[in-house]
Structures are given as C-alpha cells and as structure tokens.
Structure 1
Amino acid sequence: MWQDFRRRRKLEPGGHTDPDWRGEHTRSAAFVIPVEVRGCIEGIAAARDALRPFPFVSLHPDHFMHISLVIVGFLTAAPESPDEFSEEGLASLAESAGEAVSGFGEFRIDLANLGLFPSAAFIEAHDRNGEIDILRDALLVGCGLQSKPGPPHLTLAYFKVEEETDAPEGLIEAVEPLRNRTVGSFTARHVDLTVLDLCSEYARPKVFARLPLR
C-alpha cells in the first residue's frame, strides 16, 4: 500500500461526514475494537506530531480511536435496503453477534508503522495468530453481513481535501521515518457495536452493545 501511495501521490476526501458516502443518513453502526490509547500514547503522539503541520489533516481525538471489524450500515426508522437497520434490527444483530464471538478470548494487538491511504492516515494493527480476521469472519457469518474493511488498522486522521489533490512531498517525507516504528500494544478485551453521529465531526460513538472476549 505504501509503495502504491508513493507512486500515485493523490489525496481524496475522507471521513464519516462525507455526503457522498452517507447520503441522507445521520447515523451509522459498526463492530469495532476500541483502542486503549494509554498504552500507546507516546507512539501515537509521535505520529500525530508528524501529521500536525499539514492543514488538511484532521486528527482523531483519543475517544475516536478504534479498529474497525465490520461496517454494519445505517440506522433509519424505516429500512429499505440491506445496509439499513432499525433500532430493533440492530438489537437483533447484537444478539447474533454475541453468540458469534462467545468462544473468543482476549488477545494482544500490536500497533506499528504509520501509513497513508488516499483519504486517511493510519497505523497498522497486527495480531499474533490471525485473531482479527477470524473475529471479523465470525461476525460476518453470524450476523449475515457482507461489508468488510481492508487490512486491520487504526485510522489516525482524515484528509479534508478535494478529489485528486496532489499529495505534498512534505507529507511523504514526514511519514517515511515512522514507516517501520512500533507504536504500542494493548489487549483486546471486548468488541463494541457502536452507533456514530454522521452529522458531527468527532462525537463520541455510542456503545449500543458490548461483547466481552473471555
């Protein structure tokens, strides 16, 4: 991914408030692993400091730090498409998810290597035995969902730019020294089904259901 970004050097607008992604929806839901920032604070601070000089970078606050497992869809009073759910539908989904993850225990996640998507800056998330992908697959099968994010990562910032904006050379130079650097580690203790306000930049996600890993 890094070499692809370096070759193309283009930025795109990112973020959950983007109307091209959310349309008329005002809330979305996702299964996530919340990141324990206190165990990674120095590494995250270094990555933030590298990105802070660029005015188009929108850094995420601590309460927004998570690793996405499955994007569920949008909440609406009257669902009309497969990616729309009512509150009752989401409650049923949470029950199915609880059964799907009931056999999983806690596991360690290592955060390392600052990287860039066209629309965001991120830190890679690594496990020891493929637990993240196994957990994702269990949720997808158990809940009958299709949406699956790319490689496991912690999104650190969105880019507020126009489509096909040239990436400044300084951005690549700022990220390069942190490409192979450990950020920190934490223990994944639960999966959260969260609801996000799509009309607010960084409102604290609401925990609709918490699924313990034990």
Structure 2
Amino acid sequence: LSTVRDELLGLQGARLHPDHFLHIMLQELGFVVDHPTRSDEIAPARLEEFALAATSPVSDVQPFPVALGGVNSFQDAVFLEIGQNEPLNQIHERLFDLAAVPHIPSYPFLAHCTIAHYDGSVSPQAARTVIESWRAALLGQFTATEIEIVTMDPGSAYPELQTYAAIPFAN
C-alpha cells in the first residue's frame, strides 16, 4: 500500500487519505445533530436505536477473511477493491434495512476502501496510468471480527473516526 501511495503522490490533484481514515463503509447513516433537518442528518437517539438494533443481525456473522486489492478508481477517488465481498454485502443489506434511510442511493453498494480523492483537476488518463499496474495486485488481507459504528467531525478534512459502538461477530 505504501508503494501505491507513493505513486499517487506524483498524481497532481490526488489527495491521499491518512492511515487513521482508512475504512470500509458498510452503511452511511448521516451526521449526528441534535435537531436533524436534512436527509443526511440523524438525531443521537436514532443513532443509539440503530446501534442497539444492529447487534442482533451482525452478532451471528462468523469472522471472515477480507482481501484488499486491486487498485481501482471511481470518478472522484482511488480505492482498493475487496475480494470475495459477499459477507460484506450481506452485512450491508442487513444494516441498510435497519437504517431506513429516507432515500435510495443512485448507485449500488460496492465494498471498498478509499485511499485517495481527486480534487477535480486529475486527468482520467493520468489516473489510469498510475493505477494500471496495481489493478490485480493483492495489497493485504485481514480477518474481520467486528463492525464499528463510528462518528466523525464533518468540519475536518480527514477527522479521527470515533467509535460509537463495536459489535463483535460470533465466535
């Protein structure tokens, strides 16, 4: 991963995510505010309700391996693909149902780990050239043993993710 990041440093207009911000997002809930007025906001009580409700459908999942790589790109970001992501898809479906988000996303869920964002000035050809040799590379793997529900300060570019709840998988 450090070699990929070093190469991305040479891609003008790419902003690398720091280590503390690397994550695999399974379900976005919204920003926690005392009085939600927008569709991307939720109240603290709703976050607590979600965390409690998520325990049952997540705690019966067995730990599973997660493979990171190859490197790919959305229009606005560079990301690591997740190999064999069916367990993550199943967890996402369970959490999506619980979240009861007020709108359906216009894109399908794709488990991934974003490692950089583009600022809008990156040439698609330049991005393809940088990531091309990494398209099929396995960059790491780990065993997933829990999910975390996190909050963050939206006022910071790459804030520390604060663990609100950790839900372990079955043993």
Q: With the length of structure 1 as denominator, give the TM-score of the two structures.
A: 0.72
User: Which residue of the partner structure matches residue 213 of structure 1?
Assistant: 169
Deviations 1:157-190 (CA, angstroms, capped at 9, x unpaired): 11122xxx46163332111111111111111111
Structural RMSD (CA):
1.9
Per the alignment, residue 63 of structure 1 pairs with 20
Supply the AA of the counterpart residue of 2:113: L
| Alignment match, 1:105 | 62
* Alpha-carbon separation, structure 2, partners of 1:147 and 1:190: 26
- 1:18-167 aligned at under 5 Å gives the runs 44-127=1-84, 130-145=86-101, 150-161=109-120, 165=121, 167=123
CA distance 1:190–1:48, shift in 2 (3 Å)? same
Deviation track 1:82-123 (CA, whole Å, cap 9, x = no partner) reads 542111221111001112212112110111111111110001
Q: Which runs of 5+ in 1 are unaligned?
A: 1-43
Compared with structure 1, are the counterparts of its residues 54 and 100 closer, same or farther at alpha carbon in structure 2 (3 Å cutoff)? same
Q: How does 1:160-179 map to 2 (within 5 A)?
A: 160-161=119-120, 165=121, 167=123, 169-179=125-135
Name whichever of 140-149 and 114-123 sits farther off.
140-149
Unaligned runs of 5+ in 2: none
Work out the CA distance in 2 between the residues paired with 1:139 and 1:185: 23
Determine what percentage of the aligned residue pairs are the same residue. Answer: 27
CA deviation map 1:51-96 (0-9, x unaligned)? 1112311111111111110111121111235542111221111001
- Alignment partner of 1:66: what SS? coil
Task: Supply the distance in 2 between the matched residues of 1:127 and 1:180 (Cα, whole angstroms).
Answer: 14
| TM-score scaled by length of structure 2 | 0.88
Aligned to 1:192: 148
User: Structure 1 residues 94 and 168 mapped into 2: Cα distance closer, same or farther (>3 Å)?
Assistant: closer
Report the CA distance between 1:46 and its aligned residue.
Answer: 1.9
Give the match for residue 24 of structure 1: none
Counterpart CA distance in 1 for 2:55 and 2:104 is 18
Equivalent residues of 1:121, 1:158 under 8 A apart? yes
More strand per residue: 1 or 2? 1
Q: Cα gap change, 1:82/1:196 in structure 2, threshold over 3 Å: closer, same or farther?
A: same
Could you tell me how far apart the structure 2 residues matched to 1:83 and 1:174 are?
Answer: 34
Matched residues, number: 167
